[in-house]
Amino acid sequence: MKKSLLALAILAGSTALTGTAYAADKTLVYCSEGSPDGFDASLYDSGTTLDASANTMFDGLVNFKIGTTEVVGGVAESWSMSDDGLELTFNLRSGVKFHTTDYFTPTRELNADDVIFSFTRQMDQENAYYKHNNGQWLYFGYMDMANLIKEIKRVDDMTVTFVLDHPEAPIVANLAMAFAGIQSAEYAAQVEASGNLDDMNQKPVGTGPFKFVNYQKDAVIRYATNEDYWNGKPAIDNLIYSITPDASVRFQKMKAGECHVMPYPAPSELDMIKATDGITLMQSEGLNVGYLAYNTEKENFKDVKVRKALNHAINKEAIKEVVFSGYASIAKNPIPPTMWSYDDSTVDDEYDVDKAKALLAEAGLGDGFKTNIWAMPVQRPYNPDAKKMAELIQADWAKIGVDAEIVTFEWGEYLKRSKEGEHDTVLLGWTGDNGDPDNFMRVLLGCVAAEQGGNRARWCNDEFEAEMQAALLTTDAAARTESYKKAQGIFKAEAPWATIAHSIVFMPVSDKVTGYVVDPLGGHWFSNVDMN
> Scanning residues 33 to 72, which ones bind other proteins (CB under 8 A)?
37-38, 43, 45-46
Of residues 138, 235, 361, 490, which one binds other proteins by CB under 8 A? 138
Q: How far apart are CA 289 and CA 270, in angstroms?
A: 20
Of residues 412, 462, 478, 532, which one binds other proteins by CB under 8 A? 412
Q: Is the dihedral of CA 53, 527, 506, 501 positive or negative?
A: negative
**Contact flags string 500-529 toward other proteins, x per CB under 8 A:** ------------------------------
Instruction: State the nearest-atom distance from the C-beta of 318 to other proteins, in Å.
Output: 6
Instruction: State the nearest-atom distance from the C-beta of 271 to other proteins, in Å.
Output: 7
Of residues 243, 314, 393, 427, which one binds other proteins by CB under 8 A? 243
Of residues 116, 148, 361, 406, which one binds other proteins by CB under 8 A? 406
| 8 in contact with other proteins (CB under 8 A) | yes
Q: How far apart are CA 233 and CA 366, in angstroms?
A: 66
- Check: CB of residue 291 under 8 Å from CB of residue 498: yes
Of residues 54, 61, 247, 365, which one binds other proteins by CB under 8 A? 247
Beta strands 425-431 and 370-374, pairing class: parallel
Backbone torsions φ then ψ of 141, nearest 5 degrees: -70, -45
| 346 in contact with other proteins (CB under 8 A) | no
Q: Which 429-488 positions form the footprint of other proteins (CB under 8 A)?
A: 429-430, 443, 452-454
Instruction: State the nearest-atom distance from the C-beta of 396 to other proteins, in Å.
Output: 9
CB proximity list for 356: less than 8 A, separation 6 or greater:
309, 310, 311, 312, 313, 400
Q: How far apart are CA 246 and CA 379, in angstroms?
A: 12
**Contact flags string 309-338 toward other proteins, x per CB under 8 A:** ---------x--xx----------------
Name which of 70 and 410 has its Cβ closer to other proteins: 410
Q: Which 9-28 positions form the footprint of other proteins (CB under 8 A)?
A: 16, 19-23, 27
**Contact flags string 211-240 toward other proteins, x per CB under 8 A:** ---x-xxxxx-x-----------------x
Of residues 116, 128, 148, 272, which one binds other proteins by CB under 8 A? 272
- Check: CB of residue 118 under 8 Å from CB of residue 145: no
Q: How far apart are CA 27 and CA 89, in angstroms?
A: 39
Within 10 Å of residue 207's Cβ, how many Cβ atoms? Answer: 29
Instruction: State the nearest-atom distance from the C-beta of 448 to other proteins, in Å.
Output: 10
Q: How far apart are CA 53 and CA 44, in angstroms?
A: 10
* DSSP code of residue 14: S
Name which of 433 and 494 has its Cβ closer to other proteins: 433
Which residues partner with 238 through β-bridges? Answer: 27, 224
| Distance, CA of 418 to chain centre | 21
Instruction: State the nearest-atom distance from the C-beta of 337 to other proteins, in Å.
Output: 21
Amino acid letter for position 28 = L
Instruction: State the nearest-atom distance from the C-beta of 153 to other proteins, in Å.
Output: 26
Name which of 172 and 443 has its Cβ closer to other proteins: 443
| 101 in contact with other proteins (CB under 8 A) | no
Q: How far apart are CA 486 and CA 488, in angstroms?
A: 5
Name which of 274 and 302 has its Cβ closer to other proteins: 274
Name which of 15 and 111 has its Cβ closer to other proteins: 15
Name which of 90 and 397 has its Cβ closer to other proteins: 397
Burial 256-285 (b: 16+ CB within 10 A, else e): eeebbbbbbbbbebbeebeeeeebebeebb
Name which of 138, 209, 222, 231 is nearest 180 in CA terms. Answer: 138
| 196 in contact with other proteins (CB under 8 A) | no
